[in-house]
Amino acid sequence: MNSPASNPEQVPKAVVARLSLYLRELQQLLNDDTHTVSSQVLGTRLGVTGAQVRKDFTYFGQFGYPGVGYRCDELIAEIKRILGTDQTWPVALIGCGNLGQALLGYRGFQKQGFDVVAAFDISPKLIGTEVAGLTVQDIQTLSEWVDKENISLVILAVPAEAADQVVEAILKSGVTGILNFAPVTLKLPKRIQVVGVDLAIELEQLAFGVAKFN
């Protein structure tokens, strides 16, 4: 059995990304009343080889059974433990415009262990209004909510021109993780983890893939 990586920085980002994909597939298999799966079948469902699946898991330990493969419920529990989603994470959403409101209405966050407990904005027109059951708060109160709700993660869904102003409040709050939907690169200290989601870039990549086959 290979020793699991002792430092998360030793694990390639591509492997971590595939863990989330494995988790979704395993959950779907379990929903379909399939309780065991081989690395080959799991890989085929995601377009990778069985060898790649096994290699990915060896970063974290040994989870399969000879002649059986993986038990879906056990592997789901292990992946959630590895990803840190075996607990519920309170999350704040910053930016309650069209995109922010759509994200607040998305139920998939809670299903995967993320509970959006507070929403913030800088606009007087939005502060005090209700969106998806949450009252929009002034961004200047972020630190208070972070302390009260034990928030470590925020979703940033503001326009590019508002990002700098909002980031100042985030830095003061003590938040350590940002899912960034703002179309701008954030300049932050290394203690803060950032994952960027630029929808226009994703569409550009999709357009490239489609165009090259036409």
Partnered with residue 94 across adjacent β-strands are 120, 156
Print pLDDT tens along the chain (214 aa): 344 554 566 889 899 999 999 999 999 999 999 999 999 999 999 999 999 999 999 999 889 888 889 999 999 999 999 999 999 999 999 999 999 999 999 988 988 899 999 999 999 999 999 999 999 999 999 999 999 999 999 999 999 889 988 998 999 999 999 999 998 888 889 899 999 998 888 888 889 889 877 7
Domains of the chain by residue range:
8-81, 89-201
Q: What is the CA radius of gyration of the chain?
A: 20
Distance (Å, whole) CA 164 – CA 185 = 10
Q: Is 184 left (phi over 0), alpha (psi -120 to 50) or beta?
A: beta
Query: How high is the pLDDT of residue 8?
Result: 61
Query: How high is the pLDDT of residue 7?
Result: 58
Query: How high is the pLDDT of residue 212?
Result: 76
Among 142, 157, 154, smallest CA distance to 95 is for 157
Distance (Å, whole) CA 123 – CA 15 = 39
Q: What is the CATH number of domain 8-81?
A: 1.10.10.10
Query: How high is the pLDDT of residue 2?
Result: 41
Query: How high is the pLDDT of residue 29?
Result: 96
CB 140 within 8 A of CB 168: no
pTM: 0.83
| Fold of the 89-201 domain | Rossmann fold (3.40.50)
CA 135 vs. chain centroid, Å, equals 24
CA distances from 42 to 13, 27, 73, 81 (A): 19, 12, 14, 19
Query: How high is the pLDDT of residue 27?
Result: 96
Dig out the tokens for 207 from the structure. Answer: 């357009």
Query: How high is the pLDDT of residue 9?
Result: 65
